[in-house]
Structure 1
């Protein structure tokens, strides 16, 4: 293996480890030493690849969003017309109850982005748009702009639903939240949304 390949592998290992560390402790809950330890490298080796904790956080978020987009594309290719249901069940199932370090970046890291600088928000926005488009391209029915709108709603429902479910101490309450969100997510994902009433604030903004 060449030095270039070794360096790329080490960098990827740090990105993955940073994702796990930030998901468990939040941006403020882990430092460079902790991230390096999670990746199995020295703090000096960490700085070879990333100039700061913020730089590693940005890369971890982007990698997490891209990982979800890749999962969407795999499900679209392997699950046929049932891919939306497969995505919803996976997200509200395994990704709701897994160890926090293995949770989805959309659920665990995006809230941290709200407190980040504009340069991170801009990069994350670009990757989220690509994710939303990958979802929209696979949704049934509706014009392209309508499918994209439903994709954003589906992303918000799944990530927000898991956030709420993880905030409960009662497994029964967590399951009830997941079931309610599942019904709403499938309704959004499988059927075009009804137009907003003309008198609503949404309709006024759109018109």
Structure 2
């Protein structure tokens, strides 16, 4: 059976080749297996949430914020996860270490800092997916990286103050987090076009 991009054997062979070349392609590499698939991810290298107590470089590590949106099957809410990541400085880790990773493992360098229950898909009693608001794009405000905007399948853009938002537990029946600001104006869905102005605190969407 043919799959997109070739047979499964050919895909596996290309993946094995890529994995063997990781020490050549990257200065450092780490993987972190998630419970749910992620449609959007955003990393701010050199930044870290205040909860980590550190920013920039320290003891051979660089810290960054990662914002990951997890889309679930409806058994638990969709979430926007804020994580602190410790990134080893270039050429510190051994080549053998970064090329022999376990795809199913979770990295000790990734530490969840805060969870936001993002408005997302709902499933009715007949297990039919209702119109969803999955996050397609995440962008941060250059003037304040703690302010982020998420663009969904709806016409609206949601703005979040990461530090002000309470940490939530993603359990079945949990109420959705309330965005700090909802930007409206689009008459139709505008799923992916989202940017932040580098000079002024403006959100651009289309």
Which structure shows the higher strand fraction? 2
* Larger RCO, structures 1/2 (Cα 8 Å, 6+ apart): 1
Give the alignment's TM-score, normalised by structure 1.
Answer: 0.27
Which structure shows the higher helix fraction? 1
